[in-house]
Amino acid sequence: MGFQVHSLEAADKIKTKEKKKKKFSFCFSFSFFDSGYYASKRIKNEYRHILRDRDPPTHCSGGPVNYYDDLFRWNGVIMGPSNCPFEGGIFFLSIILPKEYPFKPPIIRFTTKVFHPNIDKSGKIQLDILRKRMWTPALTIIKTLLSICSILTDPDTRDHDSNPISAMYKTNREEYDRIAREWTTMYAME
């Protein structure tokens, strides 16, 4: 009987410890991730890296709209790559970082109009890494901007049947280049 009482007391202590762990785990996950604490730290580190980088990318950058009031809203800029219809253009982007960043991808849109198979009329970018299932926390804002730069010169035209710009890129490249260059001149060189 004494042995059973001892083991019941031990079982109660174990249950109490498990309850405390669950409570701590819940509080930890709620306050640490859901409040944006981790995201804020990561965003600050990324921004510091951008500012201190001795060899920054020459054709893209970004930073918070207002560092002290809202770290989660950024502006980005991409310089049109050489030897393509976007050459010489300066393209601005809006970057919204979710509170769950880097575990969820940023929402990035061009605010400058762009004629491109992977960019719709509202500026939304069709890029695999910007989709939740393809995003990885190893990506940074700068790496994402570099990926966006690369699709300017090398678009993904797999859905050309449903996308007229994509179809034009594949079937009438000269016309596509002419219109893309015209839009770059009108909207990205003001």
Q: Is residue 18 part of a domain?
A: no
To the nearest 10 degrees (0 to 180), the angle between helices 141-153 and 37-52 is 60
Q: Is residue 114 part of a domain?
A: yes
Q: Is residue 28 part of a domain?
A: no
Average pLDDT over residues 41-55: 92
Q: Is residue 14 part of a domain?
A: no
Residues 6+ apart with CB under 8 A from 103: 33, 137
Tell me which residue range forms the domain holding 149: 37-187
- Residue 117's domain is classified under what CATH number? 3.10.110.10
pTM of the model as a whole = 0.79
Q: Is residue 26 part of a domain?
A: no
Q: Is residue 19 part of a domain?
A: no
Contact status, residue 76 vs residue 146, Cβ threshold 8 Å: no
pLDDT digits (tens, 9 = 90+) for 60-91: 999 999 999 999 999 999 999 999 999 999 99
Query: Distance between CA atoms of 16 and 151, rounded to whole angstroms?
Result: 55
pLDDT at 11 (0 to 100): 52
Per the structure, the count of domains in the chain is 1
Query: Distance between CA atoms of 81 and 173, rounded to whole angstroms?
Result: 17
Q: Is residue 23 part of a domain?
A: no
